[in-house]
Amino acid sequence: MSKEAANKEVFLRMTKRDSISKRKAWAIRGIAVVLSLILCALIIVALTNDNPFQVYLGIIDGAVGRKRRFWVTVRETMVLLIIAVGLTPAFKMRFWNIGAEGQILMGGTATAAMMIYFGNAMPNWLLLLVIFIVSSLAGMLWGLLPAVFKAYYNTNETLFTLMLNYVAMQIVTFCIVFWENPAGSNTVGIINGATRKGWFRNIFGQQYVLNVIIVLIMTLAVYLYMKHSKQGYEIAVVGESQNTAKYAGINVKKVIIRTMMISGGICGLAGSIIVSGASHTISTSTAGGRGFTAIIVAWMSKFNPVAMLLVSAFLVFMQQGSIQIASQYGLNENASDIITGILLFFLIGCEFFINYKVEFRKSKKEVQ
């Protein structure tokens, strides 16, 4: 390499930051949110020719403008939050669990099966209790499989969990054949629509209060488990370095299997909250990609429960809002996916600027 080339300073220089103040990091994230909102506004304005403030009022109206819309937003936020909470232990352990979709579907399928076959066999509170247990077990099984193979044969958990998503989808498709209602629709329809067996009951006259209670309890429980229990500490050590863990006398195999059972179990429970507490049906779209969105929620929040709640709420808010925009301005419903995509792009992209410093080339004299 010539001397000249070696001395030439690049126009942009990116260096990894050693540390960044909390305030600065949040400022960068704040700027990213503002920029993403501006870009969304520009795109919506280009499509609708309305002024951006009207458009944002439409989003607010769509997300929380009416009592029911507010509760739907809350319901969806809670679902996203509990999945992110469920993923937290696995990711803390650096176990790349991208199988939440499958774990949710298994939990949901177990829930639907309970509602269909045992709807009249027991009182509703008992049925719900059974549903919570069975759906958690189903999710647990779906988390256990890749964990055992990872622990004993060191298989790639990313591919394994991903593959199990497709297996779960096929199981749902298979069950739909038996549960189809009405015949010929290829869907299950509302389960126990008349009797409401296995449905969450209203609390304080609101349909989704029980969802909120369960999810918040689980969030708190996982937070305490991760922060203040011995097992939680073991997970963190295994995640940092398996060799260190072994040296410290931690049974790594056991931790991997136990942690994935917890992770899968919570995702399975999320499936029951979706089926019993919201949709009252099962289909291959029951998880609806939320198992993947929750990964982003968990990582972006650095596994902080309050941050996870805020990020989930923000994403769902924009999604519900853009559904309203779509029907208000005659746009396709895909508009909502576009908006979510833009938000995620900015929110994930800004992490780069938190981890790296970007410097421009300084004047030539300094280079010499």
Partner 1 sequence: MKKVVTLVLILVMTVGMVTGCGKSDTKDTTKGDSSDIKVGIIYIGDENEGYTAAHMDGIKEMMNTLGLSKNQVIEKTNIAEDESCYDAIVDLADQGCNIIFANSFGYETYMMQAAGEYPDIQFCHATGYQAKSSGLANMHNYFTAVYESRYVSGVVAGLKLNDMIKNGTITADQAKMGYVGAYNYAEVVSGYTSFYLGARSVCPSVTMEVQYTNSWGDMAAENEVAKQLIADKCVLISQHADTTGAPTACEEANIPCVGYNVDMTSVAPGTALTSATINWGPYYIYAVKSIIDKTAIATDWCQGFADGAVSISPLNDKAVAPGTADEVAKVEASLKDGSLKVFDTSKFTVQGSKIEDLITKDEKFSKYSAYVSDGYFHESEVISAPAFDLRIDGITELTK
Q: Which of 333, 341, 348, 367 binds partner 1 (CB under 8 A)?
A: 333
CB of 229 to partner 1, least distance (A): 36
Closest to 305 measured CA to CA, from 212, 210, 214, 216: 216
Dihedral sign computed on CA atoms, order 18, 34, 323, 215: positive
Distance CA 119, CA 280 (A): 12
Single out the segment in contact with partner 1 by CB under 8 A; choices: 30-38, 80-88, 224-232, 280-288.
Answer: 280-288
If one asks whether residue 195 binds partner 1 (CB under 8 A), the answer comes out as no
Q: Are 131 and 272 in contact (CB under 8 A)?
A: yes
If one asks whether residue 173 binds partner 1 (CB under 8 A), the answer comes out as no
If one asks whether residue 259 binds partner 1 (CB under 8 A), the answer comes out as no
User: What is the DSSP secondary-structure string of 107-160?
Assistant: HHHHHHHHHHHHTTTS-HHHHHHHHHHHHHHHHHHHHHHHHHHHHHH---HHHH
CB of 105 to partner 1, least distance (A): 13
Single out the segment in contact with partner 1 by CB under 8 A; choices: 68-76, 103-111, 128-136, 228-236.
Answer: 68-76
* Beta carbon nearer to partner 1, 91 or 199: 199
If one asks whether residue 182 binds partner 1 (CB under 8 A), the answer comes out as yes
Task: Give the chain's length.
Answer: 368
If one asks whether residue 205 binds partner 1 (CB under 8 A), the answer comes out as no
* Beta carbon nearer to partner 1, 62 or 102: 62
Q: Are 292 and 78 in contact (CB under 8 A)?
A: no
* Beta carbon nearer to partner 1, 240 or 333: 333
Distance CA 88, CA 293 (A): 13
Q: Are 55 and 322 in contact (CB under 8 A)?
A: no
Q: Which of 150, 258, 280, 290 binds partner 1 (CB under 8 A)?
A: 280
Distance CA 278, CA 260 (A): 26
If one asks whether residue 181 binds partner 1 (CB under 8 A), the answer comes out as yes
Amino acid identity, position 301: S
Closest to 54 measured CA to CA, from 330, 325, 333, 340: 325
Total number of residues that touch partner 1 (CB under 8 A): 26
Q: Which of 283, 293, 319, 322 binds partner 1 (CB under 8 A)?
A: 283
CB of 239 to partner 1, least distance (A): 36
Residues 22 to 61 in contact with partner 1, rule: CB under 8 A: none
Strands 12-16 and 356-360: antiparallel
* Beta carbon nearer to partner 1, 186 or 355: 186
Q: Interface residues with partner 1 (CB under 8 A)?
A: 66, 68-69, 72, 181-182, 184-187, 189-190, 193, 278-281, 283, 285-286, 326-327, 330, 332-334
